[in-house]
């Protein structure tokens, strides 16, 4: 059977089917952060983080075109990633909700590049903006990693639309 024949009989994948299948890929959870033009810390919860390249060290995140602070990320020379611990589910929820200052009451520090980083994170990754692509309804932001810092602990896991924990072996 030709690939053309297969294509012609495939029904379009619905949004629900797409989400269901992608949700079967377990991820960690991170807070992507940036300073806006006024120097105010901004950030949101992301699970779209992935490493891209070792030489040079590159990572990416995908931000929806409707994300409130998308322009801040597009303008920024640096952005930060704070990888969350399993205890930090509340932080993940906080940074995914609108209508409040997400950094208020949260312990954070400035990285060497100036980006805001969450003090409780399992790891920090500071990135210099490297490339940006628009793909469908998201921007793909590729960052060159300029600094990392890791701590001990267990990660917050996101799977099938829910938070989860790594099970001990
Ligand atoms: C676990 C989790 C992972 C998320 N991952 C992403 C992501 O990778 N990219 C994205 O644009 N939004 C992601 N979101 C949604 C954003 O955190 C946020 O809710 C959304 O951008 C709306 O907020 P805002 O427009 O005020 O920034 C995620 C939310 C949750 C709870």
The 3-state DSSP class for residue 91 equals helix
Q: Give the CA radius of gyration of the chain.
A: 17
β-partners of residue 163 are: 158
For residue 156, the tally of other CB atoms under 10 A from its CB is 25
Q: Are 22 and 13 in contact (CB under 8 A)?
A: no
Confirm whether 97 is domain-assigned. yes
Domain count, the chain: 1
Confirm whether 11 is domain-assigned. no
Distance between CA 142 and CA 53 in Å, rounded?
10
Confirm whether 7 is domain-assigned. no
Confirm whether 67 is domain-assigned. yes
Segment 11-52, tens digit of pLDDT: 899 999 999 999 999 999 999 999 999 999 999 999 999 999
Confirm whether 42 is domain-assigned. yes
Backbone angles phi, psi at 13, to 5 degrees: -80, 125
Atom of ligand 1 nearest to the CA of 63: 11
Confirm whether 15 is domain-assigned. no
Q: What pTM did the predictor assign?
A: 0.94
Segment 141-161, tens digit of pLDDT: 999 999 999 999 999 999 999
Please report where in the chains the tokens 């312990």 appear, as a residue: 107
Q: Which residue range is the domain that position 50 belongs to?
A: 26-158
Name the residue with the closest Cα to ligand 1, atom 21: 67
Q: In this structure, what CATH number is given to the domain that contains residue 57?
A: 2.30.110.10
First to last CA, the chain: 44
β-partners of residue 58 are: 53, 144
Q: Does pLDDT of 1 surpass 70?
A: no
Atom of ligand 1 nearest to the CA of 61: 8
Confirm whether 5 is domain-assigned. no
Confirm whether 120 is domain-assigned. yes
């Amino acid at each position: 059977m030709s690939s053309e024949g297969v294509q012609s009989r495939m029904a379009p994948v619905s949004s629900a089917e797409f989400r269901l299948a992608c949700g079967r890929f377990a991820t960690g959870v991170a807070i992507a952060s940036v300073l806006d033009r006024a120097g105010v810390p901004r950030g949101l919860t992301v699970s779209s983080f992935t490493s891209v390249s070792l030489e040079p060290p590159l990572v990416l995140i995908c931000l929806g075109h409707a994300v409130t602070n998308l322009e801040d990320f597009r303008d920024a020379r640096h952005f930060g990633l704070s990888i969350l611990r399993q205890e930090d589910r509340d932080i993940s929820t906080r940074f995914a909700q609108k209508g409040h200052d997400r950094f208020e009451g949260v312990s954070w520090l400035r990285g060497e590049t100036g980006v805001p980083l969450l003090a409780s994170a399992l790891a920090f990754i500071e990135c210099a903006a490297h490339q940006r692509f628009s793909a469908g309804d998201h921007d793909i932001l590729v960052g060159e990693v300029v600094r990392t810092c890791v701590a001990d602990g267990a990660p917050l896991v996101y799977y099938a639309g829910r938070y989860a924990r790594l099970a001990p072996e």
